[in-house]
Amino acid sequence: MTERTSITLTVNERAYAISVEPRRTLVDAIREDCGQTGTHIGCEHGVCGACTVLVDGAPVRSCLMFAVQAQGKAIRTVESLADGDELNPLQRAFMEHHGLQCGFCTPGFLMLVTGVLERHPEIGDEELIDVLSSNLCRCTGYQNIVKAVRAAAAELRRR
């Protein structure tokens, strides 16, 4: 299993030439080989969603994808959201609505919501709850996350 393949991953518009075993998960490659540790690992079996990143714009559990499968695709992680020190509207809304406590699940929620709002800016409340219920948070009880996402969605629609 130790045969390695050379691939290039494009994370946040930056190319990383890395050498990985075929079995290496995308999340391990993002964290260990590309050094972007903002994406977290919560369960490694695709349930919790802490490792959610965007692959070609779609939210993906990066623990369920192999790094080699992501070659040639545009990967976006939590590190891409802020503009320097300037938080984006979604990050700001999480802060204003106390949508995070320990912060471990937060990058996954931010990327899940980013992907969904980019594709469905007019998403309805019920559908939004369904989307948010695909990730786990153990601290907040979710309602502040829901409020933050609604506020950010409204702001993005106004723009």
Partner 1 sequence: MARPQTKTQHIGRSLPRLEDRTLLTGRGRFAADISFPGQLHMRVVRSSFAHGRLRSIDARAALATSGVYAVWAAADVADIPPIDFRLSRVAGLEPYRQRLFSTDRVRYVGEPVAAVFAEDPYLAEDAAELVAVEIEELPAILGACDDPGEFEPGLSTEPAILRKGYGDADAAFASAHTIVAATLSIGRHSGVPLETRGAIARYDAARDVLELHGAAKVPHWNRDQIARMLGRRPASVQLYEGHVGGGFGIRGELYPEDLLVCAAALRFERPVKWIEDRREHLIAANHSRQQQHHVRAAVDREGVILALEDEIFYDQGGYVRTHAATVPDLAVAMLPGPYRVPAYRASARIRLTNKTPCGTYRAPGRFESTFVRERLMDAVAEKLDLDRIEVRRRNLISKEQMPYARALDTLGTEIILDSGDYAGLLGKALAAVEWPALRREIVNRRKKGELVGAGVALFVEKSGLGPFDEVKIEVGGDGAVELISGSASVGQGMETALAQICADTLGVDYRDVHVVHGQTDRIERGMGAFASRVTVMTGEATRLAATAVRAKALAAAAELLQTPVGALDVVDGEVVRTDAAAGPSISLGALAQTLGPTANGRSPGESGLKAGGCFESRHMNYPYGVHVAVTRIDRATGGVTIERYLVAYDVGKAVNPMLIEGQIAGGCAQGIGGTLLEEFLYDERGEPLSVTLADYLMPTAREIPQIDVLICEDAPSPLNPMGLKGAGEGGANAVGAALAAAIDDALGLPNAVTELPITPQRLKRLIEESTLRRTSREA
Stretch that binds partner 1, among 3-11, 68-76, 106-114, 151-159 (CB under 8 A): 106-114
As a three-state string, the secondary structure of the chain is CCCCEEEEEEECCEEEEEEECCCCEHHHHHHHHCCCCCCCCCCCCCCCCCCEEEECCEEEECCCCEHHHHCCCEEECHHHCCECCECCHHHHHHHHCCCCCCCCCHHHHHHHHHHHHHHCCCCCHHHHHHHHCCCCCCCCCCHHHHHHHHHHHHHHHHC
Of 73 and 104, the one with the shorter C-beta distance to partner 1 is: 104
Nearer to partner 1, 16 or 142 (CB): 142
Residue 21 as a binder of partner 1 (CB under 8 A): the answer is: yes
Q: For residues 23-62, which are near partner 1 according to CB under 8 A?
A: 23-24, 31, 36-45, 47-48, 50
Of these, 10, 139, 150, 156, which contacts partner 1 (CB under 8 A)?
139
